[in-house]
Structure 1
């Protein structure tokens, strides 16, 4: 008799086939700008894309399907999980080729090991093989819900979201992050990631509610504090934004994105309660200088980087947070100080005024007029990302937070 494999066995075989055809030398450095996917960020979606993962086998008339021994299946799954745990450690150490090998071995032991599939998805994401990420996560979401945990479902949807975002499909990315949050409503990283998508779309109010809920779940989530600060800054709630950003620094000292957002906050906040123009701009320069000194490489830390200057100006895509951007803002702040000092001198009757010194109408209201507003967005990351993030600080990217 011909033994007919069930649908999941076929899907798992496809995943193994896809993995086997990938060259081993494509692994990337784990210290790249992309943050590692947060192991707690587990988006889930009740809708599975099984069709995208491969063909489904159909039984021939009269063929018998072998019943499985439940106890034997438990033993096989436990052994498979031991192997996928090794794969996870390899992934954490940036040993991507070995992580893939261990994941394949785990799936050969038991084809319904979702954890092994998620490790493969994270590796493919790091390698920028986004279509493979979609195939693997679709297979993971097709596994029986009795075996697949809510956390694994959420993680799979989170990976889907980052892959969609990287492929430029913002609508599907937002849907995936929403599914991640719904699959595990206690997953703070998933809610942070979802918030960064709304932040990028310019819906600051909804983004703020997502970040607030993420912080209710995890009050020590520094990335979400940065993202909430960015959202509050977008609403011109300067003091509330400052409080949130300073909280992030208490939780995570030397957090570059928090310093960047504080610098832009004092650049934008005209007026800031209790601060004259010159002291305000000097604070901006101080925070931006600190960010520049801490920044190791140009670019955002991933999807969800919390750097939006205001809601209506937010554009889709990663935030251009960089040392060069910080230098641009520092120059703007210094010009603002010079302009304010000349104004003070004129009022005191000691103005060594030169032709062309007078500020044009409206200049004082645009402290950052020479710099392009930073986009909201990378983990997180959420979120930007990161948390990617800024992952707002980034939906937490695969491995963000």
Structure 2
């Protein structure tokens, strides 16, 4: 069974959006029998990846100014942008999409000082840095965007989600509260603050607060998103889908809506519909790692390991620290018989999180039942035992009663003894052949012409 964790409460939507999307809208082999789920969708934080606290990020920033409002950008923000700025921003984004990273950074840095549109340049710099895994600079740029335009909710959303992903929920809450209090009439800021409550499992509270927001701003899509996710977590799937359908009417080009609808369809075992929705999410947002990952899982379930590998690789390209995607890629490579590459992918997941128990478990499994190039059988089986021992230490209290790791260790030890016995038998047989050969050469007979 594959354990799918629905929702995107810590998903990344810091993408290089076109101007029209940036203004007024948020971008946002079969498993061994009895083995644990190998594939997963949850994105968990890397334990060593810390960024500056919310206080450190804002202590040197000037007090933001600008009109408050209900939208992500004040109504006049887009109209203030000069044609030259718009052209330069679009040029920078084209550079980023074409792979000219340095050119994009240079162009965006030159635009940050623009009095009216600098917040968009800072925001997209943050998105670019986040895509590269440079979270410290991403956080600084998102904070800079908020300083320049304190009503720009997409920057707040990305910053809050970045803190959550890096296991800094206190900073996520603090920065969300700071801007919610600074701009009390900005209902989208209030909805963003509920992201932290989602991660803490306060689903009923999220629903209650989201309803309060919607009473004041009935078309606030961000409030709909968090309320839908809370209902999904509570297994109220039809209600969650209805809320998302309303959000889709308001923001038909927001990729996250299709992603969440896809997660509902997965829970309902409607896999064909889920694939369509996830593909649509990717069409709208090509750098959507969670959508690529979950589409890969559906391909893997269908036995299309090559397509699954392609999707997992795309997820990793968009989110370099996506350890779950590395784990999933390893299992799809294993399904294709690419055992050495699978081991490499599992090890990359461990490099991100050395105590990642699922990667340790799957390394134990692959060393137990697969031929690894350049590793003899006994060494391979000993390696399997080593990984299972590390897995048990890492998983600790999370290990279920029916966990199969002890059984696999016993199986590995028995296989080692069997292999040693086989090798000894072969050695004895070879010695016998050698002895018989020596007897034939020296049988006491002689010939004389």
Please point out which of 90, 107, 124 is paired with 2:214. Answer: 107
CA distance in 2: counterparts of 1:86 and 1:242, whole angstroms: 40
Deviations 1:196-255 (A, max 9, x none): 111111110000111112222222221111111111111121221111111111111211
User: What residue number does 1:37 align with?
Assistant: 8
Instruction: Give me the CA root mean square deviation.
Output: 2.7
> In the alignment, does 2:412 pair up with 1:282?
no
* Equivalent position of 1:222 in the other structure: 323
Decide whether aligned partners of structure 1 residues 298 and 93 sit closer, same or farther in structure 2, where only a CA change above 3 A counts: same
**Aligned partners of 2:368 and 2:384 also within 8 Å:** yes
1:337 and 2:409 are equivalent in the alignment: no
Q: CA deviation at 1:185?
A: 0.9
CA–CA separation in structure 2 for the residues paired with 1:169 and 1:35:
14
- Residues of 1 paired with 2:406 and 2:69: CA distance? 63
Number of equivalenced pairs: 262
Secondary structure of residue in 2 paired with 1:142: helix
1:142-171 deviation digits (Å, cap 9, x = unpaired): 1144xxxx5xx2222222222211122222
Aligned runs of 1:34-183 on 2, under 5 Å?
34=5, 37-40=8-11, 74=71, 79-145=186-252, 153-183=254-284
- Structure 1 residues 36 and 157, CA, compared in 2 at 3 Å: closer, same or farther? closer
**CA shift for structure 1 position 81:** 0.8
SS at match of 2:403: helix
CA displacement, residues 258-314 of structure 1 (integer Å, 9 cap, x when unaligned): 1122112112322x2221111101111221232233234357xxxxxxxxxxxxxxx
Matched, 1:292 2:263: no
Q: Quick one: distance in 2 between partners of 1:205 and 1:72? A: 48
Q: Equivalent residue of 1:178, what SS?
A: helix
In 2: Cα distance, 1:289 partner to 1:323 partner: 16
Structure-2 residue corresponding to 1:55: none
Higher helix share: 2
User: Residue 202 of structure 1 aligns with which residue?
Assistant: 303
TM superposition score normalised by structure 1? 0.60
Deviations 1:158-189 (A, max 9, x none): 22222211122222222222222222111122
Residue by residue over 1:26-78, the C-alpha shift from the partner in whole angstroms, topping out at 9 and shown as x without a partner, is xxxxxx99576343357xxxxxxxxxxxxxxxxxxxxxxxxxxxx98747996
2:6–2:232 contact (8 Å) kept in structure 1: no
TM-score between the two structures when normalised by the length of structure 2: 0.54
Q: Which has the larger radius of gyration?
A: 2
Give me the whole-angstrom Cα distance separating, in 2, the residues matched to 1:239 and 1:323.
29
The 1-side partners of 2:284 and 2:342 are apart by 30
Are residues 187 and 259 of structure 1, via their aligned partners in 2, closer, same or farther at CA, if it must alter by over 3 Å? same
Conservation of the 8 A alpha-carbon contact between 1:41 and 1:190: no
- Find the residue that maps to 1:165 and give its secondary structure: helix
Distance 1:229 1:144, change over 3 A: closer
**Distance (Å, rounded) in 1 between the aligned partners of 2:9 and 2:287:** 14
Gaps (5+ residues) in structure 1? 1-31, 43-70, 300-321, 351-401
- Cα pair 2:9 2:195 within 8 Å, conserved: no
Q: 2:6, 2:387 → 1: CA distance?
A: 23
Counterpart position of 2:363 = 262
Name the residue aligned to 2:20. Answer: none
Does the 8 A contact of 1:222 with 1:251 survive in 2?
yes
CA contact (8 A) 1:238 1:269 kept: yes
